[in-house]
Amino acid sequence: MNVSRNLLASLKLIKSHYPCGYRLFLIRNNQTSHATTSEEGTTHFGFQTVKESEKEQKVHKVFEDVAKSYDIMNDAMSMGIHRVWKDIFIERLGPQHGTRHLDMAGGTGDISFRFLKYLQGQPNPKGLKSHVTVSDINQHMLDVGEERAKKLGLTEEKLSNMTIEWKVADAEKLPFEDNSYNSYTIAFGIRNCTHVDQVLREAYRVLQPGGRFMCLEFSHLNSQTMQWLYDQYSFNVIPPMGQILAGQWQPYQYLVESIRKFPKQEDFKEMIQEAGFDLVRYENLTFGVVSIHSGFKL
């Protein structure tokens, strides 16, 4: 109930300052809700229908614009809960020494830093060497991540038996060899890809037999009441907040729209299975605001 009261209070505040923004969700939500249209070569960019060739450029521009303020906005949008979600995500992965890990859409390094710190807290009597590749399609996001790594002391010069590299790459066309990683994570990134099925196939390809795929992504709530409250907060609080804190409205409007276009938990589970993964399951966090999907290449 405290969550509901906080959301309603935030809505009232934003509505008083941005009355037009309050109506935007209702207007946008009346537009087409299909993930892709029947016309070949088109897809969704939030609630807009665009050519497939345009989506990558538009998404790239979104994250180029928000790169420097991305972590601040994550804290503001989720009231800091995103940190807990990411901690749980890494705990579920349970990294082990000797692992080669690919952190796709790793951008500012949040998942990779947790991966490395988790290993630092585990005994390594055999001195096994671990490696993480932080990969993102946007160089601006990686630049922010590398700077953060230096400040946190998580660089190769200061890491023991661990290496980290930063690599620009498209999740749909990975430049890595088959069977080259033990684990693959993608957090809050897969919904921004044009062909999610191709991303999953590429993840399967680069994982070694026995390797694990894990995805942390915004999802859909089971409760209609909670989903309504969440929608109101997402569409009427987050874009104005982006304008106030980061000077950006449209990128955050896109981000909340993209969440609504992403498949529901069971549908995404089926997509992961269709890509070849076994033992696929998911876990909802915070009533289903986000979910963790997991699968193995067996």
pLDDT at 23 over 80: no
Question: Same structural domain for residues 85 and 70?
Answer: no
Tell me the residue range of the domain where 236 lies.
Answer: 48-77+222-261
65 & 212 share domain: no
Does the pLDDT value for residue 21 go beyond 70? Answer: no
> pLDDT tens-digit profile of 198-221?
999 999 999 999 999 999 999 999
Q: What angle do CA 168, 173, 176 make, to 5 degrees?
A: 70
Q: Is the pLDDT of residue 266 over 80?
A: yes
pLDDT greater than 90 at residue 187: yes
Distance CA 271, CA 197 (A): 7
What is the number of domains present in the chain? 2
Q: Assess if residue 107 is contained within a domain.
A: yes
124 and 247 both lie in a single domain:
no
Residue 105 in marked binding region:
no
What would the pLDDT profile of 48-74 be if each residue is shown by its tens digit?
565 666 666 655 565 666 666 777 767
pLDDT classification of 36: cutoffs 50, 70, 90: very low
Say yes or no: 73 and 157 in one domain: no
Q: What is the rounded CA–CA span in Å between residue 116 and residue 103?
A: 11
108 among annotated binding-site residues: yes
Q: Is 56 a member of any domain?
A: yes
Q: Pull the structure tokens for residue 75.
A: 């804290």
3-state secondary structure of 292: strand
- Indicate if 129 and 239 belong to the same structural domain: no
Residue at 88 is within a domain:
yes
Does any domain span residue 1? no
173 and 291 in a single domain? The answer is: yes
**Those residues with Cβ within 8 angstroms of residue 262's Cβ, 6 or more apart along the chain or in another chain:** 191, 217, 218, 219, 268
Same domain for 204 and 126: yes
Residue 30, in any domain of the structure: no
Determine, yes or no, domain membership for 4: no
Tell me whether residue 136 is in a domain. yes
CA distance 57 to 287: 33
* Co-location of 144 and 248 in the same domain: no
The model's confidence at residue 256, banded by pLDDT at 50, 70 and 90, is confident
pLDDT in tens, 137-186: 999 889 999 999 999 999 988 999 999 999 999 999 999 999 999 999 99
> pTM for the whole thing?
0.80
The predicted structure's pLDDT at residue 169: 97
Q: In which band, very low, low, confident or very high, does the pLDDT at 44 lie, cut at 50, 70 and 90?
A: low
Q: Are residues 209 and 228 in the same domain?
A: no
Does 188 lie in the same domain as 55?
Answer: no
Phi first, then psi, for residue 290 (nearest 5°) are -130, 160
Instruction: Take residue 76 and report the two structure tokens written for it.
Output: 């503001």
Cα–Cα distance, 295 to 273 (Å, whole number): 8
Give 46's contacts (C-beta < 8 A, 6+ positions apart).
28, 253, 254, 257, 258, 261
All residues at 6 or more sequence positions from 127 whose CB lies less than 8 Å from its CB, including other chains: 161
Backbone angles phi, psi at 277, to 5 degrees: -75, 150
User: Per-residue confidence at 77, pLDDT binned at 50, 70, 90?
Assistant: confident
Confidence of residue 32 (pLDDT cuts 50, 70, 90): very low
Enumerate residues 6+ apart whose C-beta is below 8 A from 37: 43, 49
Q: Which carries the bigger pLDDT value, residue 107 or residue 248? A: 107
**Residue 33: predicted pLDDT:** 40
Same domain, 178 and 269: yes
Position with higher pLDDT, 28 vs 287? 287
Determine if residue 170 is labeled as part of a ligand binding site.
yes
Could you identify the residue written with the tokens 């694990």? 212
User: Has residue 269 been placed in a domain?
Assistant: yes
CATH of the domain at 156: 3.40.50.150
120 and 211 belong to one structural domain: yes
